[in-house]
A and B are shown apart, each in its own frame.
Chain A
Amino acid sequence: MNDVATAERPLLEARGVSKHFVLADNLLRRMRGLEPETLKAVDDVSLSIHRGETVGLVGESGCGKSTFGRLLLRLYEPTSGEIYHNGVNILSHDARATRELRTRIQVIFQDPYSSLNPSMTVRQALEEVLAVHKVCPPGERGARVGELLEMVGLAPEMAERKPHQFSGGQRQRIGIARALAVGPDFIVSDEAVSALDVSVQAQILNLMMRLQDDLGLTYLFISHNLAVVQHISRRVAVMYLGRIVELAPTADLFSEPLHPYTQALLRAVPKPVARRKAATPALEGDPPNPVNRPPGCHFHPRCPHAMPICATEYPAPRAVAPGRLVACHLYDQPEPAVKTAGQG
């Protein structure tokens, strides 16, 4: 990341944000001296996102990436931590201010079919958004719907159709139009292209990039698909069991991943080049149960470089290069360990 970007105030900033879900807590458990059983879906995550950039958030199922996205949208209330939009703490907002905030921060989900009302035409769905958020006077709504559809590459006459009359790619375009309807500056894209075939996925990625160029949008791009994230993001954060384990400019992360988990993840991605698959998998074992995370570094039971300290102490995120953060004890010593670990 360049210095200009760090100097200005981030558009969105999460500071030590956590979301813990209490799964089991009752009198009987307490009488037996048991702590409440808690799922630490997001645990002390800090991330700044600058205006006009795309930050990718990757990780496997259950790592907390979607929960983090929902915290930014205030679909969940964080257990602790602070979230700032344009310098304003969004968690201190009352209901009215929160509704206003929804015109600034929007979301695109994976499956637009389940988030669109099947009995409403596209026009009705979009006009409803415009009416609820009072973003344009009633008389202008019709024209605005046509404009929005054109922005996402759909013909204005398609407004009279219902969701089932569209293909998957077209429905995702409608999902994008709905997010754009209120004129947001920040969009959380949660697996927005994951359900699409590659040729359609490329169309939607292009659309999202063009809209970013035209409207100056800022994206948090949540995905399990590393190739997609590599293509669209300027910076990438890798999550494992609720924590960000590595954050780096995209090119650096993919050319020289530092965290052993990132290294394994990149090795595991099948690439469309003819090569014999490695006989041994990049990473053995299943991800541990997030309710009962291993102590110390949560990755240590699967880590090929694990040291005694890894089982007892969570590594503090460390700035190892400009714009690069990694939470791993291998980087505790200033020099020699870094190089050998990188080979891993």
Chain B
Amino acid sequence: MTGEPLLSVRDLRTFFVTDRGVLRAVDGVSFDLYAGETFGIVGESGSGKSVTCRSLIGLLPSPPAHTTGTVRFGGRNLVGLPMSEMQKVRGAQISMIFQDPMSSLNPVMSVGDQIAEAMEAHTSLNRAERRKAAIELMRSVGIPLAGRRAGAYPHEFSGGMRQRVLIAIALACRPKILLADEPTTALDVTIQDQILSLLLSLRDEFGMSIILVSHDLGVIAETCTRVAVMYGGQIVEMTDTETLLTHPRHPYTVGLLRSLPGTETGSRYLTPIPGAPPSLIDPPPGCRFYERCSLRTDQCRDWPAELLTVGQNHLARCLRHEHVEEIA
């Protein structure tokens, strides 16, 4: 990657104070996002991928969440920005879409009004101009008969169309960055396919960058240029998508790929990762994948589990990364 990153995240940490101790949901995440790219964050439930995404724009209430680190965007650090300042960034320059469009939409407001409302806060357009722009946006996101449908309510739309409405709201102020947290997980596969195609064409049309969070390696593979794999609140591997899929250098990434059905040929049984992810409440030092790793040695328990450079633009948090090919 060349040039200045659009967004630069360094040592991002989000902890939750719970009755049982401090839960380290995100524990030292660093990455850069460049203009025009789609950056993927992949991981399983509880890996910290969604919390990372929300922490970037301060969407988690504090307390209980406590975020530290830096998120450099437009010359300043978004972490710790006062609420009034953050609101000028959110929606205008960085927008977010979520998994379940129905719960993100206002059920008693027409979709046209909801899209126009997003512009009201951040633009100087008057009422009629906003309405016109809203219909134009509905057209760009592929809602048929946009002029007529602008007066309809969310329940009158299908799941796929609702997600298109949500995308229109997110794009209302032409943001530089779109955060998409499992945007297609609740949708059928043919509708998912439509929404992903739409997101990629809008990215090029609007000249924005996308951070796409997903549990689905297939979705990430088809849409992202670079990808970070998260496990136990940390990025365990980060590189370009093709390298990750063909030459993974972290045992967890290998485990994920081998767990996928429909890719192996010949073998009736799959190769799951044994055990379950670790508790993030006061986790022990050392590698968080230690308990489930087939390559572990005693050293793995004690080392500070840092991200190591294992190739060009390729980082892996594994002491034994040179041996990963043996199990891949």
Binding site for B on A (CB under 8 A): 60-61, 167-169, 197-203, 205-206, 209-210, 224, 226-228, 230-232, 264-265, 267-284, 286-287
Would A278 and B261 count as touching, CB distance under 8 A?
no
Choice from A206, A227, A281, A286 contacting B269 with Cβ under 8 Å = A206
Would A268 and B189 count as touching, CB distance under 8 A?
yes
Q: Which residues of B contact A209 (CB under 8 A)?
A: 268-269
Q: Which residues of B contact A228 (CB under 8 A)?
A: 261-262
Report the nearest A residue to B272, measured CB to CB: A202
Of the listed residues B192, B245, B246, B261, the one surrounded by the most CB atoms of chain A closer than 10 A to its CB is B261
Report the nearest B residue to A270, measured CB to CB: B218
**Given A199-B44, A270-B196: A265 touches B189 (CB 8 Å cut-off):** yes
Would B261 and A227 count as touching, CB distance under 8 A?
yes
Q: Which residues of A contact B45 (CB under 8 A)?
A: 168, 197
Would B245 and A272 count as touching, CB distance under 8 A?
yes
Report the nearest B residue to A197, measured CB to CB: B44
Q: Which residues of B contact A265 (CB under 8 A)?
A: 189-190
What would be 27 A-B contacts, judged by CB atoms less than 8 Å apart?
A167-B276, A197-B215, A199-B272, A199-B273, A200-B276, A201-B261, A202-B260, A205-B270, A206-B270, A226-B189, A227-B261, A231-B261, A268-B192, A270-B192, A270-B223, A271-B222, A272-B217, A272-B218, A272-B221, A272-B260, A274-B245, A277-B197, A277-B200, A279-B197, A282-B190, A282-B193, A283-B193
Query: In the docked arrangement, what's the CA distance between A231 and B270, Å?
Result: 9
Query: In the docked arrangement, what's the CA distance between A198 and B263, Å?
Result: 13
Would B269 and A278 count as touching, CB distance under 8 A?
no
Q: Which residues of B contact A278 (CB under 8 A)?
A: 197
* Chain B proximity of A242: nearest CB distance (Å): 16
Q: Tell whether B188 is near chain A: CB-to-CB under 8 Å.
A: yes
Q: Mark B152-194, 1 if CB is under 8 A from A, else 0.
A: 0000001011000000000000000000000000001111111
Report the nearest A residue to B227, measured CB to CB: A274
Q: Which residues of B contact A206 (CB under 8 A)?
A: 269-270, 272
Q: Which residues of B contact A202 (CB under 8 A)?
A: 258-261, 270-273
Q: Which residues of B contact A280 (CB under 8 A)?
A: 197
**Given A209-B269, A268-B190: A274 touches B218 (CB 8 Å cut-off):** no
Choice from A61, A199, A201, A277 contacting B255 with Cβ under 8 Å = A199
Q: Tell whether B118 is near chain A: CB-to-CB under 8 Å.
A: no
Would A281 and B194 count as touching, CB distance under 8 A?
yes
Q: Tell whether B79 is near chain A: CB-to-CB under 8 Å.
A: no
Which 4 A-B pairs rank lowest in CB-CB distance, beginning with the nearest?
A227-B262, A270-B218, A231-B261, A202-B272
**Given A198-B44, A286-B161: A60 touches B189 (CB 8 Å cut-off):** yes
Query: In the docked arrangement, what's the CA distance between A230 and B190, Å?
Result: 17
Q: Tell whether B256 is near chain A: CB-to-CB under 8 Å.
A: yes
Choice from A203, A230, A270 contacting B221 with Cβ under 8 Å = A270
Query: In the docked arrangement, what's the CA distance between A168 and B215, Å?
Result: 16
* Chain B proximity of A178: nearest CB distance (Å): 21
Query: In the docked arrangement, what's the CA distance between A268 and B161, Å?
Result: 17
Q: Which residues of A contact B196 (CB under 8 A)?
A: 270, 277
Would B262 and A283 count as touching, CB distance under 8 A?
no
Q: Which residues of B contact A226 (CB under 8 A)?
A: 189, 262
Query: In the docked arrangement, what's the CA distance between A275 and B262, Å?
Result: 17
Q: Mark B47-77, 1 if CB is under 8 A from A, else 0.
A: 0000000000000000000000000000000
* Chain B proximity of A202: nearest CB distance (Å): 4
